[in-house]
């Protein structure tokens, strides 16, 4: 299958940044004042993506446009959509719903882009650096292989995605012999202790993980047909979880359901680019040093925008 349109990139940037202690989506880490999100936009445009869709909150719109998106508006088609807690809620929700401080999670964030997506698209986090080869691999998949029955994700080795300064959450992947995803399971409070990687399960018990487990860093490749599944799935989730103001509707919920129902195949694309992320303030100097080294080596111009 060959797409007649350039693929789009949906960047999830509505997170609160609570662990980090600030609006990390716009924090400078590059030698030219770049945020991590700037490198993602640059890599995506170099790989052939045509439209950049930022999913943000209304209350960060002004700061976000000033620091990030206005720099790219003359180079690419840039669209802003808003993930607010009431987005996509069914009309029959109880009037006494607890007030939410945060929106409903990553799949809910993708739903915010429903009206502006008509072509195969990728989804990424705003605060993760995924690497240039990863964007090219994803663009190639979206252009040549993506269909309503064939999706994808980039896979990263768990040991290369941890923070030295606190725990993280990751989607741990299981695959069949053809490298198609069989399930992705969200694991929380993942950290290294005494040379072992552990996570804490729903019962509060520590469980081991392998250094080489393949994990999702929320870099997905989708056909726009997934939007209807996300919409109906979120409405069901909201009806069942309205009393939990911290409940979140994750992308893996949608993917796992489609796989379980034999409605899709999801190709796991191995990527050996280095992943970087700023989960905690203490991570920032490490990322800054890496970005400086890549600029010094000619991998990126400084600044990355023209």
What are the domain boundaries of the chain? 8-296
Name the pTM for this structure: 0.89
Instruction: Spell out the CATH class of 8-296.
Output: alpha beta
Residue 25: what pLDDT?
54
Token pair 């993917």 is found at 255
From the CA atom positions of the chain, what is the Rg in Å?
A: 19
User: Beta-carbon neighbour count of residue 129 at 10 Å?
Assistant: 24
**Is there a cis peptide before residue 249, judged by omega within 30 degrees of 0?**
no
Distance CA 106, CA 247 (A): 11
Instruction: Say what the pLDDT of residue 167 is.
Output: 92
10 Å CB burial of residue 204 (0-12, 13-18, 19+) is exposed
Closest by Cα among 127, 167, 125, 161 to 27: 127
Per-residue confidence in pLDDT tens, the chain, 306 aa = 444 589 999 999 987 444 444 555 567 899 999 989 999 999 999 999 999 999 998 888 888 888 888 999 888 899 999 998 887 787 887 778 888 877 888 999 999 999 999 999 999 999 899 999 999 999 999 999 999 999 999 999 898 888 888 999 888 999 999 999 998 888 999 999 988 999 999 999 999 999 888 899 999 999 999 999 999 999 999 888 888 888 889 998 999 999 999 999 999 998 877 788 877 788 889 999 999 999 999 999 999 987
């Amino acid at each position: 299958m060959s797409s007649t349109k350039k693929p789009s990139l949906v960047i999830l940037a509505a997170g609160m940044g609570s662990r980090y202690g600030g609006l990390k989506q716009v924090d400078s880490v590059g030698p030219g004042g770049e945020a991590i999100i700037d490198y993602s936009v640059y890599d995506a445009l170099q790989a052939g993506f045509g439209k950049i869709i930022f999913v943000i909150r209304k209350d960060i719109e002004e700061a976000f446009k000033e620091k990030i998106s206005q720099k790219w508006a003359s180079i690419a088609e840039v669209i802003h959509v808003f993930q607010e807690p009431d987005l996509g809620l069914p009309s029959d929700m109880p009037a006494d719903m607890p007030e939410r401080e945060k929106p409903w999670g990553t799949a809910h964030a993708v739903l915010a882009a429903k009206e502006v997506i008509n072509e195969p698209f990728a989804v990424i986090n705003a605060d993760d650096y995924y690497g240039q080869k990863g964007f090219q691999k994803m663009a190639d998949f979206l252009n040549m292989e993506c269909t309503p029955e064939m999706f994808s994700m980039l896979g990263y080795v768990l040991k290369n995605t941890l923070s030295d300064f606190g725990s993280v959450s990751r989607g741990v992947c299981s695959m069949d012999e053809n490298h198609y995803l069989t399930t992705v399971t969200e694991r929380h409070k993942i950290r290294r202790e005494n040379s072992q990687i552990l996570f804490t399960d729903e019962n509060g018990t520590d469980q081991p993980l392998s250094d080489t487990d393949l994990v999702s860093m929320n870099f997905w490749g989708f056909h726009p047909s997934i939007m209807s599944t996300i919409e109906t799935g979120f409405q069901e989730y909201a009806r069942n979880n309205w009393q939990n103001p911290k409940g979140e509707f994750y992308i893996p919920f949608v993917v796992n359901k489609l796989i379980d129902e034999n409605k899709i195949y999801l190709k796991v694309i191995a990527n050996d680019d280095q992943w970087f992320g700023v989960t905690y303030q203490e991570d920032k100097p490490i990322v800054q040093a890496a970005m400086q080294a890549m600029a010094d080596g000619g991998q990126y111009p400084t600044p990355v925008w023209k």
